[in-house]
A and B are shown apart, each in its own frame.
Chain A
Amino acid sequence: MKNNTNINVEEIRKDFPILKRKVNGQNLIYFDNAATSQTPKVVIDSIVSYYSNYNSNIHRGVHALSQEATDAYEGSRVKFQKHFNAKNSFEIIFTSGTTHSINLVANGFKKILKRDDEIIVSQLEHHSNIVPWQMLCEETGAKIKVIPIDHNGELIFSEFEKLLNAKTKVVFVNHISNALGVINPIKKIITKAHEYNAAVLIDGAQATPHMKIDVSELDVDFYVTSTHKICGPTGVGVLYGKEEWLNKIPPFLGGGEMIDKVTFEKSTYAGLPNKFEAGTPNISGVIASGVAIDYLNGIGLDNINEYEKDLLDYATSKLLEIKDLKIYGVSEEKTAVISFNVGQIHPYDIGSIVDKLGIATRTGHHCAQPIMDYFKIPGTIRISFSFYNTKEEIDIFIKALNKAILMLS
């Protein structure tokens, strides 16, 4: 089918071995990219190459393998520094994922927060990521305030402004909601929060696959993501933190690599980034993540964004032809995520039937219970696209969906 963008999807699809597989006898159609993206062969190869050629522990050995592994690992850090336009490579910390990064930052504020200080989070958050802040509040006596959303799934900025005051110490908002795909006005949020000297942590797990992020331009204090959403392996997270903030907060995990000097009386911490990377990290995963970011930049995030927007518009218009279909999150500012329900049909029923037809969708509350409560629904069916998806796949999905609706009504 015609596509006027710079993406040659037939060629790109050849990069992803998994796209050749069958599910329940049908060609796999993978529409669950918001949960995890698929992995191109170059990334898989880099993991195989690491274990075949230079597997060894980093930063510790003088031997050749260890040097090679350290160079590749640190090389990856520089790739992410450049990709995110951070001032220093040591402002990039590798973690096990977004969840780990958020916990690291929240834990860091334990010493900084005082009773009755305030933390602002949005109603759009991934609920597992609200928990670290709740734990922090229990320990420090600080309070959580929530930015509400409107019926389009957009944050109400004026309500956010009302929540800010001298007691606000941290603002935590996702760049893009994983349940709805709506892009939040983070630049405005960061600027406003800084007027009150509050630190801002942005969860970019859903943004980094679709757009170029410039942490310097955003002037954000912390920005986090998981590389399994950007064609990398599972179990690697990237945490950007401004130097001054990373120096201010204490380490999260104690262990090897994060210390400078140890006596039983007191250890002094190593400098950045090692202070936050205790123990042997996921070396092959970090290296492969660097390969993944190179791969994405090779295609170009602007091209990806344009192509995915085309898929989003196409799918949205096809879906809206279906009777009683309601899309949640209808902002102009959206990435290629569509969350919807059809009449009173349970999302789980539709998800089960389209799965039998080889189509991977996500059903349920998408770890965003507060959003589902707002819309008073048990969950939604969510389809999310990547640059290797096609309009043909969308057509097949629409047919499958209509079949499911027929069976279930």
Chain B
Amino acid sequence: MKIKQIQEDLVDEFAMFEDWMQRYEYMIDLGKSLPLIDSKYKTEDYLIKGCQSKVWVQAELIDNKIIFKADSDAIISKGIIAILIRVFSNQVPNEIIKANTGFIDEIGLKEHLSPNRANGLSSMIKQLKLYALAYQTKINNE
């Protein structure tokens, strides 16, 4: 599925809820389906800086698509990274690099977006895009 389509689906899903509590509950549920990182990657090297909770992300290139896996010690962060991974995983690097992230605002998580927020949503996006950039550079050089 295209990134844009997944984002639209997410916006539709979140639109079903009336208030933030239901949206948070849904996000927490999405966190439960997060493709979990192998515990051997739960190290300093895979930690995303700038989050108050610990969030680890690991990426792999399979058939030119990036597969992301992650985990967090906080439930809300786990939900947030799960949403991002649903959007960005299994995509080609260039699409990830180009992707717009305005959908976060639309699903009512705007308050998590500010780069000054201790929760690190913007750091997570940056990290996923950095992986994509690294793999794209590698592909270009091959």
Contacts and interface: CB of A to CB of B under 8 A. Distances in A.
Nearest to A25: B20
B20 to A, nearest CB: 6
B3 to A, nearest CB: 26
B25 A346 contact: no
A348 interface: yes
Interface stretch (A126-134, A284-292, A349-357): A349-357
A345 B78 CA distance: 13
B28 interface: yes
Interface residues of A, number: 15
Interface stretch (B5-13, B37-45, B68-76, B86-94): B68-76
A408 interface: yes
Counting chain B CB atoms within 10 Å of each CB, the highest count among A346, A356, A407, A408 belongs to A346
Interface string A352-370: 1100100000011000000
Contacts of A408: 28, 75
B133 to A, nearest CB: 28
B118 interface: yes
B16 to A, nearest CB: 18
Contacts of A353: 24, 76
A379 interface: yes
Contact of A356 (B20, B52, B119): B20
A271 interface: no
Nearest to A344: B73
Interface string B1-34: 0000000000000000000110011001000000
Given A352-B119, A378-B73, A346 B53 contact: yes
Contact of A407 (B28, B54, B118): B28
B77 interface: yes
A348 B20 contact: no
Given A346-B74, A348-B76, A352-B76, A364 B24 contact: no
Interface residues of B, number: 15
B17 to A, nearest CB: 13
A26 to B, nearest CB: 11
Contacts of B73: 346, 378
Contact of B118 (A345, A346, A364, A403): A364
A349 B118 contact: no
Contact of B24 (A24, A356, A379): A356
Interface in B61-86: 73-77
Given A363-B52, A364-B118, A348 B24 contact: no
Contacts of B21: 356, 403, 407
Contacts of B24: 353, 356, 407
Given A348-B77, A352-B119, A378 B20 contact: no
A364 B25 CA distance: 22
Contact of A378 (B54, B75, B118): B54
Contacts of B76: 348-349, 352-353
A348 B25 contact: no
Interface in A355-409: 356, 363-364, 378-379, 403, 407-408
Nearest to B79: A349
A378 B118 CA distance: 14
B109 to A, nearest CB: 11
A379 B118 CA distance: 13
B75 A364 contact: no
Contacts of B54: 378
Interface in A128-153: none
A379 B52 contact: yes
Nearest to A409: B75
A9 B135 CA distance: 60
A408 B25 CA distance: 8
Nearest to A346: B74
Given A356-B20, A378-B54, 17 more contacts: A345-B75, A348-B53, A348-B74, A348-B77, A348-B118, A349-B74, A349-B75, A352-B119, A353-B24, A356-B24, A364-B52, A364-B118, A378-B53, A379-B52, A407-B24, A407-B25, A408-B28
8 contacts: A346-B53, A348-B74, A353-B24, A353-B76, A356-B24, A364-B52, A407-B21, A408-B75
Across the A-B interface, the 10 shortest Cβ-Cβ residue pairs: A346-B74, A348-B53, A348-B52, A348-B74, A349-B74, A349-B75, A349-B76, A364-B52, A352-B76, A408-B75
